[in-house]
Copies of this chain bind each other. A is one copy, B any other.
Amino acid sequence: MYNCQNNKDIEIKSTEIVDLKDYAKFVDPMIGTAKMGHTYPGATVPFGSVQLSPDTDTIPYAINGRYNPDVYKYCAGYQYEDRTIVGFSHTHFSGTGHSDLGDFLIMPTTGNLKLNPGTAENPDNGYRSRFSHDSEQASPGYYSVHLDDYDIKAEMTATTRVGMHQYTFSKDEKAHVILDLMSGIYNYDDKNVWTFIRVENDTLVTGYRQTNGWARTRRVYFAMSFNKPIANYGRARYDKQPYNGFWGRFDQAHNFPEIAGEKIKMYFDFDIKNQEKLQIKFALSPVSSSGAVANMKKEVPNWNFEQVHENARMAWNKELNKIQLKSKDTEEKTNFYTAMYHAFLGPTEYMDVDSKYMGLDLNTHKAENFTNYTSFSLWDTYRALHPLFNILQPKRNSDMVSSMIVHQEQSVHSMLPIWSHYANENWCMIGYHSVSVIADAIVKGNTNFDAEAAFDACVQTARTRYFDGIGYYIDMGYVPEDKNGASVSKTLEYAYDDWAIAQAAKKLGKEFIYKEFIERSKNYKNVFDAKSGFMRPKLSDGTFKENFDPKDTHGQGFIEGNSWNYSLYVPHDPKDMIKMMGGNKRFTTHLDSLFTMELPDKYFEHTEDISREGIIGNYVHGNEPSHHVAYLYNWTDAPWKSQDKIRMILDQKYKTGADGLSGNDDFGQMSAWYIFSSLGFYPVAPGSVDYALGSPSITDATLNLDNGNTFEISTKNQSKKNVYVEKVELNGEILERPFITHEAIMSGGNLTFYMSDKPNLRQYQTE
């Protein structure tokens, strides 16, 4: 494996896949860069700390204190429709619906020095450059573009902690490299808190920047090295300087090596020859600039751009070959391997080569026997991404749990991460879904972490009364809408999380705690309104809220979803839910309607994460709460209805091209849904060992597992039309229920789907 792992306890029988194929060539990092995908096209390695990618605009989060809705487009810094590139920055979230980062924007220019980025309408006013997609190349670990305004070929590649730039100039000239330390993604009026820079010598620059954004107290340290000496350099300051003192004795603006302040931009000048390649190594560290220097020395000792690029691509191929598709359909392989690529972008490694990282307490810690990860978009990724990791990335998933455990230990709230990044909790979205990730790993036996500590952390988190209505939830069995908004979504998600804790308790033999949480897991029933047939917000006096519209996503007790969708959110107990909702027939009708009814725009137009592209009827695939919904027919008498829905979603909502994703990829959750579903199964309730079967879209796939086993998925009669499953065989035996277990997969074997263009109305009806 590419990234060195400290922990040797896990048994990895085969780390080398004999027949390594160049699946990287099918990956198109441009997919999702248009509209709402929020992916970035730049260079990174699997789970890499550095994401070196072009930013096509730097929109302020707020203008005069008022939220600027345009910022949402730029969660990943890049929008395909744009015609200019502002520069290349080193940190990007993939597919998120809120954002941060965009650290250390670099832009090479020629001609007059400009330190402002200029505008898309008038790029000549600033340092940004026009570009054309014709000149762009994006592939795993590599990005290239021609900067038209300067006639510079820009190329980038990366290791885990180092971004490498290569700029080829087209004539003899004076060139500038701009380091814009004020640029950032979701840049608040004054997101910058402090900046500190040292020009250590004529090729090395170090420093850090602290920002106050989505992460409140975030420091990123850097070391930047050039492959030729800086001719001249300087800085501009844009902040108020209350006191300059004896610093006034220096000309701090020109060739002065020690710079600090709130708002700073720098430039570095070089005398360049035609066709000369100016290279930059840019290393990051969570801990210190000396850490960044050490990361650079270890990971990129030489000035060999091609070697770094080759290593990055090899790292990707090793990960991509964990599933080998047999297919002649390039589009299928593009969709599939791009999904694999997006699924393996995060959480990202968050420690130096010496295992030091910044803890949530802002102290420096050392990761003992695990790799520390950050950027946990858990409201999204607990659903399918972490379950996918339990199959394909067991070591990493265990280390991610270890990272969550230390987070909880360092948390002054003693809470597991909600949505954490860069030694900060940003508290985004609802629930406490770390417990799902942990329970899923415990139940599936993928516990190369301290399971007792992890379990205790789950319980502690779920008992934090002051967090988001949990006190009410514990006392009353639901979150009352008049006390805490989005109360139904919270009640439902807490109930699922509690079930997950109960499953872990059962596995670990904690009977007392099992009882507490299995009881809590039934709380979903307390927000079901039998009269309307929907989950409905309840007030603290026990009555349901009036003026209820189950189609509306606004102010109805739900978050990023309406009651139509959220009413189906009982992933851990579909059987009882169906009973509660009126039994098989009434439930099936509800579900059928979801996919066919009309949802006028007005019901979701102010909900950022939902757009027309991601919707089928009233079913919202572009956002997460319904990701399990298409599989719910498996608990009715018509599993075949899951099959055509899943194939419809796979077909309609995942396409090639920049606008191929129908919603935020959400750090790989959308892609993980695709991977599972295209293979024919899905983890409806993480924390269960069962996967629900659907309808595969692939023809043949081999899962190369880290334990040395292979699990073969094949289809008979597969075609675009043959979306129905006639029968399924596991290791030659016909399956009598629409589920397979985790163990069946991990033990190796083969799963054969017999496809048909007609539903098998009696399939799986033995139960």
Given A242-B65, A242-B191, A250-B466, decide whether A216 and B290 contact each other with a Cβ distance below 8 A. no
User: Once the chains are docked, how many angstroms separate the CA of A288 from the CA of B196?
Assistant: 18
Given A290-B363, A364-B288, decide whether A245 and B214 contact each other with a Cβ distance below 8 A. yes
A242 touches B188 (CB 8 A): yes
User: Once the chains are docked, how many angstroms separate the CA of A553 from the CA of B210?
Assistant: 43
A208 contacts the other chain (CB 8 A): yes
B243 touches A212 (CB 8 A): yes
B260 touches A217 (CB 8 A): yes
Other-chain contact of A196, B199, B208, B362 (Cβ < 8 Å): B362
Per-residue B-contact encoding for A182-223, CB less than 8 Å = 1, 0 else: 000000111101101011100000101010111011000000
Residues of chain B lying within 8 A (CB to CB) of residue A198: 361, 412
Q: Which chain B residue lies CB-closest to A244?
A: B216
A594 contacts the other chain (CB 8 A): no
Name the interface residues of A278-315: CB closer than 8 Å to any CB of B.
288-290
User: Shortest CB–CB separation between residue A24 and chain B, in angstroms?
Assistant: 37
A61 touches B427 (CB 8 A): no
A258 contacts the other chain (CB 8 A): yes
A426 contacts the other chain (CB 8 A): yes
A530 contacts the other chain (CB 8 A): no
A512 contacts the other chain (CB 8 A): no
B243 touches A217 (CB 8 A): no
Residues of chain B lying within 8 A (CB to CB) of residue A212: 194, 242-243, 260
Most buried by B among A216, A240, A290: A216
A617 contacts the other chain (CB 8 A): no
Residues of chain B lying within 8 A (CB to CB) of residue A262: 193
B213 touches A243 (CB 8 A): yes
A468 contacts the other chain (CB 8 A): yes
Given A361-B198, A362-B208, A364-B288, decide whether A427 and B246 contact each other with a Cβ distance below 8 A. yes
User: Shortest CB–CB separation between residue A381 and chain B, in angstroms?
Assistant: 17
Name the interface residues of A94-153: CB closer than 8 Å to any CB of B.
98
User: Shortest CB–CB separation between residue A61 and chain B, in angstroms?
Assistant: 7
Other-chain contact of A246, B200, B210, B426 (Cβ < 8 Å): B426
Given A362-B208, A363-B288, A427-B245, decide whether A257 and B196 contact each other with a Cβ distance below 8 A. no
User: Once the chains are docked, how many angstroms separate the CA of A262 from the CA of B240?
Assistant: 15
Residues of chain B lying within 8 A (CB to CB) of residue A419: 246
User: Once the chains are docked, how many angstroms separate the CA of A156 from the CA of B124?
Assistant: 63
Instruction: Count how many chain A residues have C-beta atoms less than 8 Å from C-beta atoms of the other chain.
Output: 53
User: Once the chains are docked, how many angstroms separate the CA of A245 from the CA of B419?
Assistant: 12
User: Shortest CB–CB separation between residue A56 and chain B, in angstroms?
Assistant: 23
Name the interface residues of A354-378: CB closer than 8 Å to any CB of B.
361-364
B247 touches A427 (CB 8 A): yes
B413 touches A258 (CB 8 A): yes
Name the interface residues of A408-435: CB closer than 8 Å to any CB of B.
412-413, 418-419, 426-429
User: Once the chains are docked, how many angstroms separate the CA of A214 from the CA of B212?
Assistant: 24
B193 touches A193 (CB 8 A): yes
B245 touches A426 (CB 8 A): yes
A260 touches B216 (CB 8 A): yes
Most buried by B among A62, A206, A256, A412: A412
B193 touches A242 (CB 8 A): no
Q: Which chain B residue lies CB-closest to A194?
A: B193
Residues of chain B lying within 8 A (CB to CB) of residue A467: 249
B196 touches A217 (CB 8 A): yes
User: Shortest CB–CB separation between residue A378 and chain B, in angstroms?
Assistant: 13
User: Once the chains are docked, how many angstroms separate the CA of A115 from the CA of B639?
Assistant: 65
Per-residue B-contact encoding for A459-470, CB less than 8 Å = 1, 0 else: 000000011100
Q: Which chain B residue lies CB-closest to A469?
A: B249
User: Shortest CB–CB separation between residue A540 and chain B, in angstroms?
Assistant: 17
User: Once the chains are docked, how many angstroms separate the CA of A242 from the CA of B211?
Assistant: 12
Q: Which chain B residue lies CB-closest to A356?
A: B364
Given A412-B200, A413-B258, decide whether A361 and B289 contact each other with a Cβ distance below 8 A. yes
B413 touches A243 (CB 8 A): no
Most buried by B among A208, A212, A250, A418: A212
User: Once the chains are docked, how many angstroms separate the CA of A240 from the CA of B413?
Assistant: 25
Residues of chain B lying within 8 A (CB to CB) of residue A249: 427, 467-468
Residues of chain B lying within 8 A (CB to CB) of residue A188: 242-243
Q: Which chain B residue lies CB-closest to A196?
A: B217
User: Shortest CB–CB separation between residue A358 and chain B, in angstroms?
Assistant: 10
User: Shortest CB–CB separation between residue A242 and chain B, in angstroms?
Assistant: 4
A190 touches B242 (CB 8 A): yes
B189 touches A362 (CB 8 A): no
User: Once the chains are docked, how many angstroms separate the CA of A201 from the CA of B191?
Assistant: 30
User: Once the chains are docked, how many angstroms separate the CA of A262 from the CA of B262?
Assistant: 12
Most buried by B among A210, A242, A262, A418: A242
Most buried by B among A62, A245, A247: A245
User: Once the chains are docked, how many angstroms separate the CA of A193 from the CA of B363?
Assistant: 18
21 A-B contacts, Cβ less than 8 Å apart? Answer: A61-B243, A62-B242, A189-B242, A191-B242, A191-B243, A193-B194, A194-B217, A196-B362, A198-B412, A214-B243, A214-B245, A216-B260, A245-B427, A245-B428, A246-B419, A246-B428, A249-B467, A256-B466, A257-B413, A258-B412, A364-B364
**Shortest 8 CB-CB contacts between residues of A and residues of B:** A246-B427, A188-B242, A198-B412, A290-B363, A257-B412, A189-B242, A288-B363, A188-B243
List 17 extra interface pairs beyond A65-B242, A194-B210, CB under 8 A: A61-B243, A98-B245, A191-B243, A193-B193, A193-B194, A196-B217, A200-B412, A214-B245, A216-B260, A245-B426, A245-B427, A246-B426, A249-B467, A250-B466, A256-B466, A288-B363, A364-B364
